[in-house]
A and B are shown apart, each in its own frame.
Chain A
Amino acid sequence: MNRRLLLLIPTVSILLIFGVTPLIYIIYESFFNRNLSMPWHVEFIGIANYVSALKSSTFWHSLKVSLDYLIRALPIQLFLGLGIALMLYKLKYGAGGYKLILSLPLVLSPAAAAVMWRLIFDPRTSPINYMVSMIGLRAPTWLGDSTVALWSVVIVDTWQWTPFIWLVLLAGLNAIPLDVFEAAQIDGARPLLILRYITLPLLKPQITLVILFRALTLLKDFDKIFVLTAGGPAEATETLSLHTYYSIFWWFDIGYGSTLAILYLILVIIATTILFRKVKL
């Protein structure tokens, strides 16, 4: 038994040293006023950082943007993902080719993908803007308009992550025994009723998994938003992760940045706890 525990050491020690110690360290730092641009000035200020974070409208705004991003992206991706999974399930020929092409965005670097999408969103190089102007309409300023920018980010995220959803749901569909559907068809059930009362309930574990996984990855998203809009215009897309990033690497405010990181962490812990309640590993 002891020898078996020894084998845990490599993984557990590295994760403790580089994963858990940092968390303890930021709890410590969050009680100090420390700015890297003034290294000589370190002052214990108790919970003042937390008070000012919770009083700051920028913090609440960034939290709102994070949740807004989640609430906009998730339903769309779920709907599209379910649709594509059902369609691929019906295909008898050529499903392999479609699957290969449709799952392509998943393996691309989010940063590089965001750069590619800048070519689509930039009014000078955008083929979409060009086509829209051909029919006499005006395309939105994808990344420069504060009411549109978050939607543009959602588009890119949907493009990249919908494949994950249909892949998981399709695996779920394939695991359902065929005679379940056949029995329902013989009983004369209409396709929509089959979907509502048979397919969806049977897919519930996969749907739960997908929702929670996606919720967590949307919450920790940084690359895409940073490259597409850098949080702008006028903080319209500044999520909690970008807000924390700026207070650390722009304002060099270690104390306040740590406080934001802690508050961010609390949000992630809540989401992770729900995940572990629902999904068995």
Chain B
Amino acid sequence: MISNLIRILKLSLLYVILTIFCIITLLPLFWTFIISIKSPKDLAAAPVALAFRPSLENYQRALIGVRFVKFFQNSFVIAITSAAIAIILTVPTAYVSARFGVGGQFLKQWILSMWFLPPVVTAIPIFILMQFLKILDTYLALLIPYLLMNMPFSFLLLASFIQEVPKELEEAALVDGCSRLRAFWKIIFPLTLPGFLITFAFCFMFAWNEYFFALILTGTKRMTLPVHITSYLSIHSIAWGEVAAVGIIMTVPMLILLIVIQKYLVRGLTMGALQS
């Protein structure tokens, strides 16, 4: 009886502690949301007060004009393109690496080490190259560093998914007279389609969230949302309400994405080294 009680107490303690962690996790988001629905007037009068009339004024201000729409579109276009191109370019390599062990451990390590390169290290040559080609502030300028970031990731993750497809399935198709390419298209691709989608989602996320290269390579034309939101901070009197509204709008697509990739977070973030 008493031991049962202790067990229940222990278990409820777990729930309490985890709930506290959840509250801490949500605090910045919750607070940003609160600030975002406070009218600028209320915000100026009593920034911290919780009694106020919700207003959408900040959202209207943040969205007004072409600027925000353009930056949202920039972020979206570059995230989609860099994810798609990274996958297309790395599929063949991932395939031969996973199937035939071409390049072996060395290839994998070298490609992964490219992922660990700090952006600041490649910043000078990439900036000078873009300046020389006169493509600063274009999609192409962003695409190159984003490929550098997404290709190692996509290669490793795709390889780990392709490795899971039993060799026998492909061999059976070959015996039936399929070419390697056809066997890949008919057998491996459909079986690893979830893997492809997950890889795409992760690459999209990395590009959507990327800040450093967007900061140094884009100006007013191709600025992405992370740079846009931080650009508010350099203004003398910060429009906190608008900043918060932009923050919330930026977060929504990632929340949807989280629900999609939740099961694969471990696998994705360790680039296939671990499977959940």
Contacts and interface: CB of A to CB of B under 8 A. Distances in A.
Contact of A109 (B92, B211, B232): B211
Contacts of A220: 116-120
A7 interface: yes
B29 interface: yes
B240 A125 contact: yes
A257 to B, nearest CB: 6
A251 interface: no
A21 B95 CA distance: 26
Q: Count chain A CB atoms within 10 A of each CB in B205, B250, B274 and give the residue with the most.
A: B274
Interface in B117-142: 117-128
A26 B209 contact: no
B3 interface: no
A249 B233 contact: no
B95 A7 contact: yes
Interface in A220-253: 220, 222-223, 226-227, 241, 244-245, 248-249
B121 A261 contact: yes
Contact of B25 (A8, A94, A104): A104
A15 B107 CA distance: 11
The B contact surface, by secondary structure, is: helix
B247 A112 contact: yes
Nearest to B243: A115
B6 to A, nearest CB: 13
Interface range on chain B (Cβ under 8 Å from partner)? 35 or more
B213 to A, nearest CB: 10
B109 A281 contact: yes
B105 to A, nearest CB: 6
Interface stretch (B55-63, B167-175, B188-196, B262-270): B262-270
The 9 closest A-B CB pairs, nearest first, are A22-B125, A109-B209, A7-B92, A220-B118, A11-B93, A111-B211, A111-B226, A223-B211, A10-B89
Given A18-B144, A87-B14, A167-B269, 17 more contacts: A12-B107, A18-B126, A18-B147, A26-B125, A100-B259, A104-B29, A105-B25, A109-B254, A111-B211, A112-B251, A116-B244, A118-B233, A122-B240, A164-B269, A222-B211, A222-B212, A226-B211
27 contacts: A4-B100, A10-B92, A14-B151, A15-B110, A18-B122, A18-B126, A25-B125, A91-B14, A104-B25, A108-B251, A109-B208, A109-B210, A116-B247, A122-B240, A125-B35, A125-B47, A125-B48, A127-B48, A130-B48, A220-B119, A227-B230, A248-B124, A248-B127, A261-B120, A264-B118, A272-B113, A272-B116
